[in-house]
């Protein structure tokens, strides 16, 4: 793959992988080596998290279609080898704001119909924590999928808050959590149980508790501004590049060393 052609996105838009018995089997050892290496790269390149998570689901019985997607991610890294996370220098006008974005698709997995959720946390405009993961439950609605994703994000926010307090780092409270689903926001603020929520497991109502304690401020954001779309689905080039820029992943060649720390 050293001399391969580059590509603009890590995964083609609308890509769906399944276990296809008629598809040709590939070398499982090689496939696992590729996936393992890519998971390591995810520590500094959150823009490939969704694609790597997708191909990680098929390490038990990899097929040619799965390997093709893995190679597509390698082609993307070939074309963006000079990209990385940039952290801006702190200045007096910069607010010490801790912000989080949470999102989920609904029943995106073609096999078990589970949803993929993602979150990203930014402190003083710098991305430092992110996740792309398949949910443990099968959500019965998009509201439930978004609510569960927000609950998982709330747990991460609580841990980050405890760490910042221990390090005696000032930040604005409460933490702002951006969600693009108004129904899940209403469900978190309104303790009334009804047909859409009474089946949700108790552990996910941790989100409601955090809202009641004024530790989280749930804010609605338009879908086009939802930064975590990049962690939940395969996107088209323009949308992907916009969200990659939002995460702070940029080319080293477009910055001088004096502008970053």
Q: Write down which residue in 48, 81, 114 finishes a domain.
A: 81
Residue 104 lies in a domain: yes
Say which residue, 202 or 104, is predicted with more confidence: 104
- The verdict on 213 and 109 lying in the same domain is yes
Q: Tell me, what's the pLDDT at 260?
A: 46
Say which residue, 3 or 259, is predicted with more confidence: 3
CB 86 within 8 A of CB 250: yes
Residue 87 lies in a domain: no
Interior angle at CA 179, CA 119 and CA 38, nearest 5: 20
Is residue 93 pLDDT above 90, yes or no? no
Mean pLDDT of the chain: 89
Rounded Cα distance between 18 and 63, Å, is: 10
The strand ranges marked E within the chain are: 83-85, 97-104, 116-123, 126-134, 172-179, 216-220, 249-251
Across residues 109-125, what is the average pLDDT? 91
- The verdict on 161 and 42 lying in the same domain is no
Across residues 24-53, what is the average pLDDT? 95
Model confidence at 196, pLDDT cuts 50, 70, 90, reads low
Q: Tell me, what's the pLDDT at 258?
A: 46
Across residues 196-200, what is the average pLDDT? 69
Across residues 50-60, what is the average pLDDT? 95
- The verdict on 204 and 121 lying in the same domain is yes
Across residues 146-174, what is the average pLDDT? 94
Residue 91 lies in a domain: no
Q: Tell me, what's the pLDDT at 245?
A: 93
Q: Write down which residue in 81, 110, 141 finishes a domain.
A: 81
**Taking the model in full, what pTM does it have?**
0.89
Which of 127-141, 181-195, 231-245 comes out lowest in average pLDDT? 181-195
Model confidence at 8, pLDDT cuts 50, 70, 90, reads very high
Residue 101 lies in a domain: yes
Residue 260 lies in a domain: no
Collapsing DSSP to helix, strand or coil, 35 comes out as helix
Is residue 1 pLDDT above 60, yes or no? yes
Total domains in the chain come to: 2
Is residue 90 pLDDT above 80, yes or no? no
- Phi-psi sector, 113: left (phi>0), alpha (psi -120 to 50), beta: left
Q: Which domain holds residue 41?
A: 1-81
Rounded Cα distance between 3 and 42, Å, is: 22
Say which residue, 194 or 41, is predicted with more confidence: 41
Across residues 181-197, what is the average pLDDT? 77
Say which residue, 204 or 39, is predicted with more confidence: 39
Question: Tell me, what CATH number does 211's domain have?
Answer: 3.30.420.10
Residue 126 lies in a domain: yes
Across residues 72-97, what is the average pLDDT? 87
- The verdict on 77 and 108 lying in the same domain is no
């Amino acid at each position: 793959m050293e001399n391969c052609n580059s590509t603009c996105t890590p995964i083609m838009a609308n890509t769906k992988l399944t276990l296809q018995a008629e598809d040709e089997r590939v070398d499982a050892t090689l496939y696992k080596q590729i996936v393992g290496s890519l998971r390591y790269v995810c520590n500094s390149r959150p823009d490939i998290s969704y694609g790597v998570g997708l191909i990680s689901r098929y390490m038990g019985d990899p097929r040619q279609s799965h390997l093709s997607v893995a190679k597509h991610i390698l082609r993307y890294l070939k074309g963006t080898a000079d990209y990385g996370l940039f952290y801006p220098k702190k200045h007096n006008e910069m607010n010490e704001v801790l912000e989080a974005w949470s999102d989920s698709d609904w029943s995106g997995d073609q096999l078990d119909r589970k949803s993929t959720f993602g979150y990203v946390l930014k402190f003083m405009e710098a991305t430092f924590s992110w996740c792309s993961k398949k949910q443990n439950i099968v959500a019965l609605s998009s509201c439930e999928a978004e609510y569960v994703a927000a609950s998982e994000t709330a747990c991460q926010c609580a841990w980050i808050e405890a760490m910042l307090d221990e390090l005696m780092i000032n930040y604005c409270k409460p933490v702002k959590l951006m969600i693009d689903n108004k129904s899940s926001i209403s469900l978190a603020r309104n303790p009334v149980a009804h047909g859409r929520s009474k089946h949700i497991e108790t552990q996910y109502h941790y989100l409601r508790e955090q809202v009641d304690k004024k530790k989280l401020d749930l804010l609605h954001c338009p879908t086009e501004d939802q930064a975590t779309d990049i962690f939940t689905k395969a996107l088209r080039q323009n949308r992907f590049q916009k969200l990659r820029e939002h995460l702070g992943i940029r080319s080293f060649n477009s910055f001088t060393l004096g502008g970053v720390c």
